[in-house]
Amino acid sequence: MARSFDTVLVVDFGAQYAQLIARRVREAHVYSEIVPASTSAEEMLARSPKGIILSGGPKSVYADNAPEVDAGIYGRGVPVLGICYGAQLLTRQLGGQVARTGTGEYGRTALRRLGHSSELMAGWQGTETVWMSHGDSMVSAPSGFRVTAATEAVPVAALEDGERRIYGVQFHPEVVHTARGQELLKRFLFEVCDCLPTWTHTSVIETSVEAVRRQVGSERVLCALSGGVDSAVAAALVHKAVGNQLTCVFVDTGLMRAGEGEQVESAFLRQFHVDLVHVKAEQRFFAALEGVTDPEQKRKIIGELFIRIFEEVAGERSDVRQLVQGTLYPDVIESGTEAAATIKSHHNVGGLPEEMDLELVEPLRLLFKDEVRAVGVELGLSEDLVWRQPFPGPGLAVRIVGEVTRERVEILRRADEIVLEEVREAGLERELWQYFAVLPAIRSVGVMGDERTYAYPIVIRAVTSEDAMTADWARLPYELLERISTRIIGEVEGVNRVTYDVTSKPPGTIEWE
């Protein structure tokens, strides 16, 4: 997809800063791609990047096995911007000094501009608010650099070598707490790198359509419709590319949220007139999950059965060799790269059986969630469908902590429906990234009326986030939580207790499992 766009590479040093930086670059309508720190200079330069950004990282540049970038990227005509760890790394590699001074900086910090002119901070005031997060500090710049900013604790908070087009900032311009951070990134992209802002939703669709047509050719292709946003947008995109060559297969696992099957059928049968096969496989999934409690095993069981069902459908169509899936860029990153540890298997990435007989078509593989939603709107999908909150591929199975049974799924589905209804009624659905119910497979004693009960608890989870890489628990109004709790206990048989999860990511994950 990236070949027709100016490209900026973001070097990943093992933290999740790289994903946020890449998103900020794309928000400026420039294509960005994350590469591991182990990528050689020649490999990077062979991609003809317009610029290279060295991301932050969790380690000290002096730590054993601290990641480094190939120093061959410097002075090769491609602008380089180092951020936090990346700035310290280029400073050290080019002959400057980085040290642990005993005074770190964390959170909002006053940045003081120095007398030197700055290509990146042109127009900034004498003092600006930035976001810091570092223990080590740059204490002297390499030869040829000018220091353009400092803080009370750090003598080198920003440095530039305009001749070699190498830049470094100790702060994080990618976070919203740095008041003029996006402005700095745009100056790097457009003034220093001479990028063109061509990464738009329209151009993404056009390029993706061309890529799908090249891959699919004249063959028929199946699309895995899960009921979520990602698979729906992927289906609409592939339908735009190959029309009636597409057959959508909706596998009803029995693990979906309330009303999802009907919404999927309505959208793709009535709006797009797509050939839709509805496979009702509830019994097979419950049988496969019987006695299973390990969350990773659940994902793998569901993922493999999901694919096997597609293979069965494909086997009835001798001309089908390819399968469309709504894999996103965060799926790829979270499923494990050289620099990012595997957090969980996604059934559409890490959980696929190795001997699968279908070739994958993944038109959204390079997109973040916000980009996918925008593409969906551009393709004409309904607001209700496009703005559905993210939902895990294995469905409600991963929101039951313990064995998955029909009874537990029905209890959870009804409780989840109440959560969704009340959040929408409160007008908060666009402010939250995800909001849902969880059922831990334990029982506790309660009292309802004059009788003793022994029933399940329901945990309410609601978070705010921009890309699911990090998330904060949502400060829902007490009145809303009270309505949700009252309704669940009063309307859902088998529940006698409701709690609210106030854990952020990290240290927790958004899903419970």
Q: Which residues are catalytic?
A: 84, 172, 174
Distance CA 171, CA 180 (A): 11
And the tokens for 409?
A: 């799924």
- Phi-psi category of residue 107: left, alpha or beta, with phi > 0 → left and psi -120 to 50 → alpha: left
Q: Is 467:20 a contact under the CB 8 Å cutoff?
A: yes
Distance CA 62, CA 93 (A): 12
Single-letter code of the amino acid located at 438: V
Q: Cα–Cα–Cα angle for 395, 398, 399, nearest 5°?
A: 95
Which among 282, 296, 273, 289 is positioned nearest to 251, based on CA atoms? 282
Reduced to 3 states (helix: H, G, I; strand: E, B; else coil), residue 400 is strand
Written as one string, the DSSP assignment of 18-50 is HHHHHHHHHHTT-EEEEEETT--HHHHHHT--S
And the tokens for 31?
A: 């294509």
Distance CA 173, CA 360 (A): 36
CB-based contacts of 228: which residues, under 8 Å, 6+ apart?
A: 326, 388, 390, 391, 393
DSSP state of 509: -
And the tokens for 189?
A: 């992209």
Q: Is 233:326 a contact under the CB 8 Å cutoff?
A: yes
Q: Is 37:69 a contact under the CB 8 Å cutoff?
A: yes
Distance CA 253, CA 495 (A): 24
- Angle between helical axes of 406-425 and 478-491 (0-180°, round to 10): 140
